[in-house]
Amino acid sequence: MGLKDKASKIDFASLMPVPPLNPEAAKPKTAPGAMMALANDQRSELLRENDVLRQQAAKSVELEGRLQSAVEELQSWDGAKATRLLDPKAIKRSVYANRHESSFKSEGFEALKREIKEAGGNVQPIKVRAVANPGDGPQFEIVFGHRRHEACSQLGLPVLAFVDNLDDQALFEAMERENRERADLSAWEQGVMYARALDRGLYPSIRQLASAIGVDATNLSKALVLARLPGKVLDAFASPLDLQFRWSTAFKTAIESDLAGLESRAAKIISNRSGMTPKQIFAALTGPQESPVQAQAPATVQAFEREGKTVATMKIDGEGRSVIRIHVRLTSARQRELAKLLERFVDAS
DNA sequence: CGTTTGTCTAGGTAATGGTG
DNA sequence: CACCATTACCTAGACAAACG
């Protein structure tokens, strides 16, 4: 059972100590539609801030499971902080940013961008912290919301943001929490994020990092292997987002035993990977020991017709397994006949 | 401590068996 | 045949135990 499963059982509504100020605000807090409706109503500026703050507090509960302290947090936050509209240019990406470039090219990102465009800005605020010595560079650094920031930036819209005051470790944890909650970070992206935190000495060990953020050390270790893969190997894939946790051991062995071979196989794939699935690329890189993928012939289907009607089909998949389907009703005598036929057939093979 | 190995499970997909 | 609901099967990631 993962964290998310536990979290999903929490009834957030019951955690809200402040009664909603109007019926509209009583609608689900997370439904984009409800949020959007509020956001579009200029008079509800204050309501929206409250809503957003409550939601924020509820999120910290969700992940930490600290129900009591969250309620306190909630009360201390109520009305204490507000969101601000900031110029995207005044904000820089975090040093711990984990988003790969292709995250900003995906279908999902385009959808987010459209949504923000229609709403005239990001309804769900991002979180930033003030930069210590800005000079004439950006004044803020993103804690989370890199995609929303990028979308607003591309659209030339101001970004709705919380400004918070966090040290490096808190920044990292807030960011990690937000990302994991959405569960759309790939294994490799997670690895990159964890590697940065470790390289910068935020945590003394993988295990301590894992327990600080409530993640399994096993998977963290696997993600790190993926993140530290040689560039050439990464390039063999259409996107590093395709990398999977379970491949880490095979990659590690390959690196230790035959790095040169691995890289030359990677180079070969880079020059021609058309039509290869990520899984096939992985198999080609690490050799035949994992999932022997021989050139998979596509399934063939043969139809048997009588008087223009399909009476039977025979389908044979890439591995030679077959499905024979007879579309007409068989008398019991014919059924026995077929059974005998099959009996003889399997005996012979 | 980092990592390996193996098991378990949720979620997705394909196959199957009815039905109109 | 197309369509739908059910079932079987597979996969990725979460977890536990254990190794060096």
Q: What is the pLDDT of residue A239?
A: 77
Residue in the block written with tokens 């918070």: A164
Whether A13 has a pLDDT exceeding 60, the answer reads no
CB of A296 nearer than 7 A to strand B:
no
Rounded CA-CA distance A250/A306 in Å is: 52
CB of A246 nearer than 7 A to strand C:
yes
CB of A312 nearer than 7 A to strand B:
no
A269 vs A17: which has the higher pLDDT:
A269
Phi/psi at A163 (5° precision): -110, 125
Least confident among A35-49, A134-148, A157-171, A279-293 = A35-49
Q: What is the pLDDT of residues A251-303, one digit of tens each?
A: 887 777 777 888 888 888 888 776 677 777 787 777 653 333 333 344 455 66
Distance measured from the CA of protein residue A180 to the C1' of nucleotide C14, in angstroms: 14
Bases in strand B with any atom closer than 7 Å to a protein CB: 1-6, 10, 15-16
A230 vs A175: which has the higher pLDDT:
A230
CB of A84 nearer than 7 A to strand C:
no
Average of per-residue pLDDT across A303-318: 61
A323 vs A131: which has the higher pLDDT:
A131
Least confident among A174-183, A210-219, A254-263 = A174-183
A94 vs A59: which has the higher pLDDT:
A94
Whether A200 has a pLDDT exceeding 80, the answer reads no
A221 vs A103: which has the higher pLDDT:
A221
Whether A50 has a pLDDT exceeding 50, the answer reads no
Nucleotide with smallest C1' distance to residue A279 CA:
C11
Q: What is the pLDDT of residue A307?
A: 56
Query: What's the fold here for domain A83-185?
Result: 3.90.1530
User: Domain spans of chain A?
Assistant: 3-77, 83-185, 230-286, 300-348
CB of A286 nearer than 7 A to strand B:
no
CB of A218 nearer than 7 A to strand C:
yes
Phi/psi at A315 (5° precision): -115, 130
Q: What is the pLDDT of residues A81-91, one digit of tens each?
A: 567 788 878 88
Task: Please write down the HEC assignment for all residues of chain A.
Answer: CCHHHHHHCCCHHHHCCCCCCCHHHHCCCCCHHHHHHHHHCHHHHHHHHHHHHHHHHHHHHHHHCCHHHHHHHHHHHCCCCCEEEECHHHEECCCCCCCCHHHHCCHHHHHHHHHHHHHCCCCCCEEEEECCCCCCCCCEEEEECHHHHHHHHHHCCCEEEEEECCCHHHHHHHHHHHHHHHCCCCHHHHHHHHHHHHHCCCCCCHHHHHHHHCCCHHHHHHHHHHHCCCHHHHHCCCCHHHCCHHHHHHHHHHHHHHHHHHHHHHHHHHHCCCCCCHHHHHHHHHCCCCCCCCCCCCCEEEEEEECCEEEEEEEECCCCCEEEEECCCCCHHHHHHHHHHHHHHHHHC
Residue in the block written with tokens 């005051």: A165
